[in-house]
Structure 1
Amino acid sequence: MTPRAEGPKGALDRALEILEVLTMRGKATTSELVEAVGVSRSAVYRLVERLETAEYLTLAEGQWRLGPAAARMAMAALHNMDVHAIAPPILRDLAHRTGETVSLGVHSGDEIVFVFREIGHQAVHVRSELGARRPLHATSVGKAYLAGLAPEHREQTIARLPMEAFTKATVCDRDRLREAVTEARRRGWAEEHGEFDAGSTCFGAPVFDQSGAVVAAISIAGPTDRMDAARDPFGPLVAETAAALSRRLGYSDRTPPQAARAHQGA
């Protein structure tokens, strides 16, 4: 697609920028808003006065903060942000584009539970039945979930995993698992090459909510021969899809790293 040319910014654009600045910073003076938005002080004054009148902003001790109307809007958005509701259309599109099986898994105990699956047009049966439980250490969704955890939670989880062998390729050594998870964090997706099902190759990526917590992981899976022969790499594709889903849940890559934490499993 050709990027749409961006026209001159109007008052609405500037007002949205002010709200975005305060969403990220928490509070800011008028001078700081002038610098962040890049317009005159008089223009910022007019905008914040309108936003204050509508209760989107409030002024306390010389600093602007989000007001009660913004809070009500945020709560309404959060109420409607549920990975189970938002994910299916996005994942169906991925399955349609690739022809392979696409799944959504959530954390439960020390496992991942598949809560959604879409079978692509060229998919054969793969071991990802809806409701099935999968080990964290031997699957792409599991390793993707581990990659999304904050370091202390990730290490605690890895330390208690049973590390059961499912095939000859299963990684049962914790240090090797740590290396695989570190690599998944670096590149944005995890890989599984016959570690749970000897004939399958899978790619997974974590999904984050508005606070930066990992709430799920998605995967794309298929027969190893076909996945290896594919012209388009599946890893970046599943990472892009997970990122799009995370954005729909309110996640921003500017979310402070310390906000990332373990999401309570079912």
Structure 2
Amino acid sequence: MNDTSNRTSVDGGTVGTLARGLDIVEWVAATPGATVQRLSADLGLSRSAAYRIVGMLRDRGYVVGETELRLGPVIMRLGLQALEGLDIHAVGPEHLRELVDETEETAFIAVFDDDQMCYVMQEEGPQVVRVLSKLGGRAPLHASGLGKAYLSALPEAERGLVVERIPLTGYTATTFTTAPELHAELDRIRDQGWALDDAEREPGVRCIAAPIRGAGELPVAAISVAGPRDRIVAAQSSIVPAVVRTAARISVALGASPPSHPLSHDT
């Protein structure tokens, strides 16, 4: 009986100290010019408790500094390890299946590779007539929803360099074949949060796509739903938000911030 009571007391104290330590680490991360005195006041800790816990964190490398506290090298190492564990192949499939369940159309994820988009995931929709792509297959940046979604999320200077070096081949009557036209389209995509491929590479095929971002808020991939043009047109008002929501969920799972811009349904 006494042993159990002692264990509970010790465990409770340890958990409480751990929670306060985590609170301190998060507070230091968010507080420029952090000091133990300010920490004590902001977190409601006694000076002695604040100095004791900060001392433990300092000994373990979670915080550094004497008069001014900063995050220590252990936090950086753990953060990098966490980022390495964030992989589109790990988080993408489940979200892709949910997108197909919601839209009943085939969905894709592609990554940027050698100035093209490379298909790395595909989940087939239940429709008898559907659009399919070979995994490892390529799509041109300027003539695919996936490519335009990815380009639209790049910083403007980097985007300009990419557009300058890729061939703007005309595949159909709706392909963007000049840099000014393409940049205007990419600006629109950036502002509304999603891309449209209106039979720009394959006649009769329509695609809705959105960029997937990583921890640095830069694009790491793109996701799309594609199908016969008439069917996608009829369901576009529901497909667009589904694609954008799925891209945002995957992005957040990869370390990006939730999107802040409102969704536009302009086509």
1:111 to 116, 130, 134: 116
Scaled by the length of structure 2, what TM-score is found? 0.78
Q: What are the superposed Cα offsets for residues 25-74 of structure 1, whole Å, 9 maximum, x if unpaired?
A: 7x541389759xx9445369846853652436313153222234423432
Corresponding residue for residue 211 of structure 2: 206
1:42 to 20, 27, 45: 45
Corresponding residue for residue 159 of structure 1: 164
Instruction: Tell me the secondary structure at the aligned position of residue 172 of structure 2.
Output: coil
Corresponding residue for residue 143 of structure 1: 148
Taking the aligned partners of 2:94 and 2:250, their CA distance within structure 1 comes to: 10
Corresponding residue for residue 171 of structure 1: 176
Q: What are the superposed Cα offsets for residues 66-120 of structure 1, whole Å, 9 maximum, x if unpaired?
A: 2344234323312311112221111111112211111111111221010110011
Taking the aligned partners of 1:45 and 1:226, their CA distance within structure 2 comes to: 68
Contact 1:201 1:222 in 2 (8 A): yes
Instruction: Tell me the secondary structure at the aligned position of residue 42 of structure 1.
Output: coil
Contact 2:24 2:39 in 1 (8 A): no
Contact 2:105 2:226 in 1 (8 A): yes
Instruction: Tell me the secondary structure at the aligned position of residue 163 of structure 1.
Output: coil
CA separation of 1:61/1:11 partners in 2, compared to 1, >3 Å: closer, same or farther? closer
Query: Over the residues paired in the alignment, what is the CA RMSD in angstroms?
Result: 3.1
Task: Show structure 1 runs of 5+ residues with no match.
Answer: 1-9, 255-266
- The reply to whether residue 96 of structure 1 matches residue 101 of structure 2 is yes
CA separation of 1:96/1:56 partners in 2, compared to 1, >3 Å: closer, same or farther? farther
Which stretch of structure 1 is more off in the superposition, 209-218 or 227-236? Answer: 227-236
Contact 2:25 2:63 in 1 (8 A): no
Corresponding residue for residue 222 of structure 2: 217
- The reply to whether residue 234 of structure 1 matches residue 239 of structure 2 is yes
Taking the aligned partners of 1:33 and 1:251, their CA distance within structure 2 comes to: 30
Q: Which amino acid letter does the alignment assign opposite residue 76 of structure 2? A: A
CA displacement at 1:252 relative to structure 2: 2.2
Scaled by the length of structure 1, what TM-score is found? 0.78
Contact 2:105 2:130 in 1 (8 A): no
Instruction: Tell me the secondary structure at the aligned position of residue 233 of structure 1.
Output: helix
CA displacement at 1:132 relative to structure 2: 1.1
Instruction: Tell me the secondary structure at the aligned position of residue 63 of structure 1.
Output: coil
